[in-house]
A and B are shown apart, each in its own frame.
Chain A
């Protein structure tokens, strides 16, 4: 057992050293320099100003909303998808849209959500009247959920598939209502998939950019946007790296915190 363990770790650790450790070291190194190339702690001090703290709060709040809504949409989708004929085909068709370029799809959303767009024509026709959809929190969360949804559906679907059908029969035979079966048997058994999905959505959602500008019109400014700006516009790589370092630390803390709970789950 010990021998094989070491064998698997070798390629993985080698890869990590090359492509994970090196960028981290470069980022940490950069974060201690100001625009003129002098050593400084100033970047981290600047992070503690109200502007950046509010931005951090925003990022977490939106990432949370995005994850929550992705989960709310993805779980029933996965649950019902599993019971259709040709379920594997449908599952694959969930992923296919994400192979079309994101910028193009975002442009399409601008067209759909615009004042004279399809959605507003529909609302008008129904009698609700034209609303401003573009550049609102709603459109931002909607499009983000759209982008991340396959990352949530896949793991949940897989964990649902794992459930032994005899468990469900047993539960029914013992007189549990369908809702009871779901709450007491199905949902707890899919927690692993839910957790993987939440991680795969929450973590990248923290550093979203581009659609904060395209869909939210810079009304939402997240840490990802700030980093993007510092790297590509201001060319203040130091400040950009400092934000990234803090983001990585926060992420590690989250992982370790939720990781322990995960470990307890596997023991169950």
Chain B
């Protein structure tokens, strides 16, 4: 048993090492005075200084975060509603049709979604900028939330619902008291996946943005032609450290408070 434990721990260590290797690599070269991603010359904080003096970059970072938070929260709500809706369709044909529709946006390459959203938004006269970017991020995040929530709904045994109803719970009561707590892990998974999609998206955002609004991915990609400056590495390092502190700190704070963190699975 303990041998098995060692093995599993080793396995997890390797997985985490691989996951964080490229990030450590980026962080390492953010201190490179040569200004490149190879051949470490000497230690410098020059690139960090550059980041702190670049208000434009700061605005872009904030835009990115705002869009990511809003879009993932809204798309989680929409996605949960969507999953509840699909779950209630019992006949298999319309159900599969709905599911296929749901997946269209996941399978369509970003460029196509971006281009068609651009045509769509200019057609109905939405000004390109914050609103158009937010709407399209919500649009491509909802399907992934549905995909994450639906299996949980399917696992729920009908007897549970019947029991709740027999005990006199109303339709709304069943949903809030029984269904939502049960599918909570799926909701969190969906939320974090949506956040990931939003933070990483370049192609869709590029097409639907305008009027001075920009996100970090768009900025980074457009810099590729002339070489990405290490100040971007420095910025990513800062964002990464900030996220880590936030995540770890929040985890331990909520844990101490009620011994039950906000995300993940509810202990039975």
Contacts and interface: CB of A to CB of B under 8 A. Distances in A.
* A–B direct contact (CB < 8 Å): yes
A192 B224 CA distance: 41
Nearest to A241: B112
A49 interface: no
B151 A103 contact: no
Interface residues of B, number: 90
B239 interface: yes
Contact of B104 (A12, A149, A248, A259): A248
Interface in A102-125: 102-105, 107-109, 111-112, 114, 116, 118
Instruction: Please give me the 8 A-B residue pairs with the lowest Cβ-Cβ distance, nearest first.
Output: A88-B264, A108-B22, A19-B139, A8-B85, A23-B116, A12-B82, A80-B8, A252-B100
Interface in B75-95: 78, 81-82, 84-86, 88-89, 92, 95
A107 B228 contact: yes
A101 to B, nearest CB: 5
Contact of B111 (A103, A114, A227, A262): A227
A227 B112 contact: yes
Contacts of A265: 154
A200 B147 CA distance: 7
A26 B136 CA distance: 16
Contact of B240 (A100, A151, A200): A100
A87 B19 CA distance: 17
A169 interface: no
27 contacts: A9-B89, A16-B101, A19-B117, A19-B135, A23-B108, A76-B11, A92-B264, A93-B16, A96-B243, A96-B244, A96-B247, A99-B239, A101-B216, A102-B202, A105-B26, A111-B29, A114-B38, A151-B193, A159-B155, A161-B265, A199-B147, A231-B111, A247-B108, A255-B99, A256-B96, A263-B92, A266-B154
B221 A23 contact: no
A111 B92 CA distance: 49
Interface string A141-164: 000001001110011001101100
Interface string A10-28: 0111011011111110110
Given A19-B105, A107-B228, A200-B106, 8 more contacts: A11-B81, A80-B9, A192-B155, A200-B193, A231-B115, A251-B107, A259-B92, A266-B154
Interface in B11-63: 11-12, 15-16, 18-23, 25-26, 29, 37-38
Interface of B: 8-9, 11-12, 15-16, 18-23, 25-26, 29, 37-38, 78, 81-82, 84-86, 88-89, 92, 95-96, 99-109, 111-113, 115-117, 119-120, 135-136, 139, 142, 144, 147-148, 150-152, 154-155, 171, 185-186, 189, 192-193, 195-196, 199-200, 202, 216-217, 220-221, 224, 228, 232-233, 236, 239-240, 243-244, 247-248, 251, 261, 263-265
Contacts of B116: 22-23, 26-27
A46 to B, nearest CB: 18
A200 B115 CA distance: 23
B85 A9 contact: yes
Contacts of B88: 1, 4-5, 8-9
Contacts of B23: 97, 100, 105, 108
B107 A247 contact: yes
A43 to B, nearest CB: 14
A62 interface: no
A8 B81 contact: yes
Interface stretch (A34-42, A129-137, A201-209): A201-209
A99 B106 contact: no
A97 B109 contact: no
Contacts of A158: 151-152, 185-186, 189, 265
Nearest to A116: B38
Contact of B108 (A3, A27, A81, A149): A27
Q: Of residues B88, B135, B171, which shows the largest number of chain A Cβ atoms within 10 Å of its Cβ? A: B88
Contacts of A248: 104, 107-108
